[in-house]
Amino acid sequence: MLVITNARPSVLARIDRILVENGLTHTRHPGPDRCVFAVDGHAGTATVTRLAATPGVIDVLTAPGDQWLSARRVRPRTTRVDVGFGVEVGGDAFVVAAGPCAVESQAVLNDITSVVALGGASILRGGAFKPRSHPASFQGLGAEGLALLARQREITAIPVVTEVLDPRHVAAVAESADILQIGARNMHNFELLKEAGRSGRPVLLKRGLAATVDEWFGAAEYVLRTGNPHVILCERGIRTFEPATRFTLDLGAVAVAKRRGHLPVLVDPSHATGRRELVRPLALAAAAAGADGLLLDVHTAPETARCDGAQALTATDFDRLMADLRPLLRALGRPLASDTRVLAEGNPT
């Protein structure tokens, strides 16, 4: 059962009392304007009626199909995830996260960070732990890669997103990065989801390559139930019968996710297509479809990239995409996050 309240302290205390009196355990999920109680076990009709009649209670959801902390019915407003350094995902502004698929060296990371930060990205992406399909492929620099990312973040004051593959690495990744990425291959790794949730850091949850929207939301629920509300969804393509692209970007799922839930949704057209020439059209389509931002592979020398070079935008490609994105966002009535940040800094009032 979910009990949705207006979050006034007197109401919270009253709900607590009713639940305790009825021997019901629960977790509390506060938010900007509502507090949701996720109640374990079964509540009798009399208790449900009493809870629903309590002033300050907005809704009591008892149907098994309604037990979703991510649902718009539970929180009508889109969740704004503060990822640090003044950057918010899910707010009015459209956010671009960009960088190499994998962190390779300090010099290359420096170059790429300059390109993406100057070009309009607000978040730096880069994998230190890489989930590769073959064990002989480059597995990432690991802890050394984390240190390089942490250094970029310190020098450039840009928030960093990087993947965590193993529950034992969550603490280290949470120390070096602002957002923990759960990759498509780990979307069903529930112990990892719980551990990432417990870190308290924002979690970027990629859709599994064969996961339904329902399963994707189920994975988000695992993070939310730890008490961590900072979840960002990311559509990155699903496996279909179509080999012309690496995966099939499912923009329908983006529209569904935005209606169904209150969590912000990013789109990764790089991993979806696997081909740099297809990234621009699908990035623009994602913005038009209502995504809250993009996750993009960018590399200054993609031909030498140790991972996914074929899908990485060059500096020129990235600048061109951003030049096309700005007027589209204007037409959509949505500023680019990096532009609003510059404005805010330039205007102290």
Q: Which of 178, 297 has the CB closer to Mn ion?
A: 297
Contact 287, 254 (CB under 8 A): no
Residue partners of 129: CB distance under 8 A and separation at least 6 = 139, 140, 142, 145, 162, 163, 164, 165, 166, 169, 173
Among positions 3, 81, 87, 101, the unique one binding Mn ion when judged by CB under 5 A: 101
Nearer to ligand PEP, 94 or 129 (CB): 129
Enter the DSSP assignment of 55: T
**How many Å apart are CA 130 and CA 61, to the nearest integer?**
40
Q: Which helix (H) or strand (E) holds 136?
A: none
In sequence order, what DSSP letters do the residues of 245-285 get, joined into one string? SSSB--HHHHHHHHHHBSS-EEE-HHHHH--HHHHHHHHHH
Q: Which of 30, 44, 131, 281 binds ligand PEP (CB under 6 A)?
A: 131
252 binds, among ligand PEP, Mn ion, none (CB under 5 to 8 A by kind): none
**Please, how many CA atoms are within 13 Å of residue 23, restricted to the half-sphere of its CB?**
3
* 140 or 229: CB nearest Mn ion: 140
Query: Whole-number minimum distance, CB 145 to Mn ion, in Å?
Result: 13
Q: How far is the CB of 268 from ligand PEP (least distance, A)?
A: 6
- Residue with smallest beta-carbon separation from ligand PEP: 183
Give me the least distance between CB of 188 and ligand PEP, in Å please: 12
Collapsing DSSP states into helix, strand and coil, what is residue 53? helix
Candidate list 26, 29, 206, 276; residue touching ligand PEP; CB under 6 A: 206
Site mask for ligand PEP (CB under 6 A), range 264-303, x = bound: ----x--x--------------------------------
Contact 77, 16 (CB under 8 A): no
Q: Which is nearer to ligand PEP, 236 or 280 (CB)?
A: 236
Of the candidate residues 308, 312, 321, 336, the single one contacting Mn ion (CB under 5 A) = 308
Cβ closer to ligand PEP: 4 or 184? Answer: 184
Q: Which of 184, 238, 265, 266 binds ligand PEP (CB under 6 A)?
A: 184
The yes or no reply on residue 268 touching Mn ion (CB under 5 A) is no
Residue 26 contacts residue 225 (beta carbons within 8 Å): no
At residue 100, the 3 state secondary structure works out as coil
Specify the residue for token string 């602002």.
Answer: 178
- DSSP strand pairing (81-84 vs 179-182): unpaired
Provide the minimum distance between the beta carbon of 330 and Mn ion in the complex, in angstroms, as a whole number.
31
> Of 22 and 245, which CB lies nearer to Mn ion in the complex structure?
245
Q: Torsions phi, psi of 5, nearest 5? A: -125, 170
Contact 230, 84 (CB under 8 A): no
CB of 295 to ligand PEP, least distance (A): 7
Positions touching Mn ion (CB under 5 A) are: 101, 308
Positions touching ligand PEP (CB under 6 A) are: 101, 127, 131, 163, 183-185, 206, 236, 268, 271
